[in-house]
Amino acid sequence: MRSFIIFLIVSILGSFIYLGVGWLVFDVMMGNFTTEHTTQLPGFKKTTDFSFAFLYLSCLAYAVLISYITSITINSKTTFQAFLQSASIGLLIACMTDFYWYASSYFYSDFITVLIDCAGASLTVGLLGSFSQIMLKKIK
């Protein structure tokens, strides 16, 4: 039971870290670039009824996934290795979704934008994994 509570706490804290880092990378640093290099279809993006609750649940789901993977490998990984492992997972998931969008739609204007988005995902998920590794090691 103690392990589950620790896992839950690390996941919740990680979700807030991921939300903050994701906002910094994807909105502050890359926001204008992404807007300029993606198709802006009327009605595609929510503006007035954007749901922060579902955005948070998305971040929580990622944090649970990364915390789970990190907890399994915690004894064999350093924080840098946890970063690389998590960054690889983030990169693969971003490649899966971004390559699909690039293949099936005109959402991205060019492949460079896809690569930049994938790099951002890799960085943010890598930082989430590092945070999870640090917290799990401290608490255990």
Using one digit for the tens of pLDDT, what is the confidence trace for 77-129?
899 999 999 999 999 999 999 999 999 998 899 999 999 999 999 999 999 99
Q: How confident is the model at residue 63 (pLDDT cuts 50, 70, 90)?
A: very high
User: Which structural domain, as residue segments, surrounds residue 111?
Assistant: 2-30+56-139
pLDDT over threshold 80, residue 9: yes
Q: What is the pTM of this model?
A: 0.91
Amino acid at 10: V
Q: Are 87 and 21 a contacting pair, CB within 8 Å?
A: no
In a domain, 39, yes or no: no
**pLDDT for 138:** 85
**pLDDT for 2:** 81
Q: Tell me how many domains the chain contains.
A: 1
In a domain, 44, yes or no: no
Amino acid at 85: Q
In a domain, 8, yes or no: yes
In a domain, 81, yes or no: yes
Q: Compute the Cα dihedral for 89, 20, 38, 117 and give only its sign.
A: negative
In a domain, 128, yes or no: yes
Q: How far apart are CA 86 and CA 68, in angstroms?
A: 11
In a domain, 49, yes or no: no
Helices 111-139 and 52-73 sit at what angle, rounded to 10 degrees?
A: 60
pLDDT over threshold 80, residue 76: no
In a domain, 61, yes or no: yes
- Chain Cα centroid distance, residue 9: 18
In a domain, 115, yes or no: yes
**pLDDT for 17:** 97
